[in-house]
Copies of this chain bind each other. A is one copy, B any other.
Amino acid sequence: MDEDTLIAEKVAEARAAVEENEADCWLTFARETTEIAEPCLPFLLGFDVVWPTAVIVTPERSVAILGRHDAPNAEALGVHDVRPYDESIESDLVETVDEIDPDAIAVNVSEDDTVADGLTHGMYRRLQELLDGTGYEDAFVSAEDVVARVRGRKSETEYGRIETAAAETERLLAEAVDAWTPETTETEFSEFLHERMREADYGSAWSWDYCPTVHAGGAAPVGHTLPGERTVPPGEVLHVDFGVTVEEYAADIQRLYYRPREDGEGIPDGLQAAYEDVRAAIDAGAAVLEPGAVGHAVDAAARAELTDRGWPAFQHAFGHQVGRNAHDGGTLLGPQWDRYGDLPDREVAVDEVYTMELGVETEWGYLGQEEMVRITEDGHEFVVDPQTELRRLSP
């Protein structure tokens, strides 16, 4: 089964990540994951749990301690030593940690990286209490580096899903544009895509109501907005930010479409120039995006190109990783702003998948473009073909 393959790939990656880490084991601790997801569990178990559950990974093996009802699903994976419990996780947890006897236990705590911060404060306290008196209750360190590697470096199975999600995002966009007429409102454009997503059983890469985000023309407010009753005026631009999920993996793409004027005139010079500035800034970031690049340096290259061309700086990061989530955590191609913590200070690594995105506000509409790339040994490759010109809308 495809899902079992994926989990086997990621658990192997996790063992290697622990091997190269200062900690002796990586402990993921969670409960009721349909209510509060533990972002690492999909790589370790692949199913939701109800009772407190621990998965402990060392360089040699992994142990899953979970409620008896969930145990058969863990057994079926064939990758973990499974320890089912009935009333309390305590004895199995303490025995397992005792066997490992770690100097440092990596736990999912991170001020800066959401996907490495799945341990709630209540569960952190509970973990300390469970290990109270063992000597291990003060051995916790952050698993940020382990999580960044496990989640960031995409396995073949994962990358296949991301490629499919990106290709399907482009395909559905092409269908929506084919069906477009001058009377199509933002809401109707969005509903067309939602209908196609339902038919194909695809999820949305972010909140359903905001995916796609659709901006019709220069009068549309910029940002994460709900679609409205606006249509694209002649001579203006339709901006779409969209991504489907396929088998739990996301795409995140922004595309731009120009509605020709009724007098047959071409694209206004100012619009064409602004679009070329957007593309040049993306290209400038792309030029330095390779293994070992530091996140904020990539952002700065794109940002400087845009501001040098006279535009205001964009108020977001140039690029983020994509995987199970459209914002997948880890190294961020962003400025060193407080709200990004240390993510922009981290390095880009092979097999990570990033967006490259920016935009400018113009009288013709918001010109935002977003591409997806995979990091290769010597640079990067596009997941799907990038947009290289303003696409034309035709009724």
| List of B residues within 8 angstroms of A124 by Cβ | 121
Interface 0/1 of A107-122, CB less than 8 Å to B: 0011111111111111
**B31, B70, B113, B338: the one within 8 Å of A224 (CB):** B70
Known contacts A34-B325, A36-B39, A119-B120; A69 and B224 CB within 8 A of each other: yes
A207, CB-defined interface residue at 8 Å: yes
Q: When the two chains form their complex, are residues B36 and A118 in contact, meaning their CB atoms are under 8 A apart?
A: yes
A37, CB-defined interface residue at 8 Å: yes
A223, CB-defined interface residue at 8 Å: yes
Known contacts A69-B224, A117-B121, A120-B121; A339 and B52 CB within 8 A of each other: yes
Q: Quick one: which of A35, A120, A223, A315 has the most chain B CB within 10 A? A: A120
Q: When the two chains form their complex, are residues A315 and B120 in contact, meaning their CB atoms are under 8 A apart?
A: no
Q: When the two chains form their complex, are residues A48 and B207 in contact, meaning their CB atoms are under 8 A apart?
A: yes
| List of B residues within 8 angstroms of A198 by Cβ | 198, 201
Please measure, in the bound complex, the distance between the C-alpha atom of A326 and the C-alpha atom of B119, giving whole angstroms. Answer: 22
Known contacts A35-B39, A207-B48; A111 and B123 CB within 8 A of each other: yes
**B34, B47, B221: the one within 8 Å of A326 (CB):** B34
Surface stretch bound by B, among A83-91, A131-139, A259-267, A376-384: A83-91
A258, CB-defined interface residue at 8 Å: no
Please measure, in the bound complex, the distance between the C-alpha atom of A109 and the C-alpha atom of B31, giving whole angstroms. Answer: 14
Q: State the number of copies, please.
A: 2
Please measure, in the bound complex, the distance between the C-alpha atom of A338 and the C-alpha atom of B338, giving whole angstroms. Answer: 40
Interface 0/1 of A361-378, CB less than 8 Å to B: 000000000000000000
- Nearest neighbor of A87 in chain B, beta-carbon distance: B337
| List of B residues within 8 angstroms of A224 by Cβ | 50, 69-70, 73
- Nearest neighbor of A112 in chain B, beta-carbon distance: B122
Using a CB-CB cutoff of 8 Å, which residues 346-363 of chain A contact chain B? none
- Nearest neighbor of A110 in chain B, beta-carbon distance: B122
| List of B residues within 8 angstroms of A67 by Cβ | 339
A125, CB-defined interface residue at 8 Å: yes
How far in angstroms is the closest Cβ of chain B from A146?
A: 15
Known contacts A72-B223, A122-B110; A35 and B115 CB within 8 A of each other: yes
Interface 0/1 of A59-99, CB less than 8 Å to B: 00000000111101100000000000011111000000000
A103, CB-defined interface residue at 8 Å: no
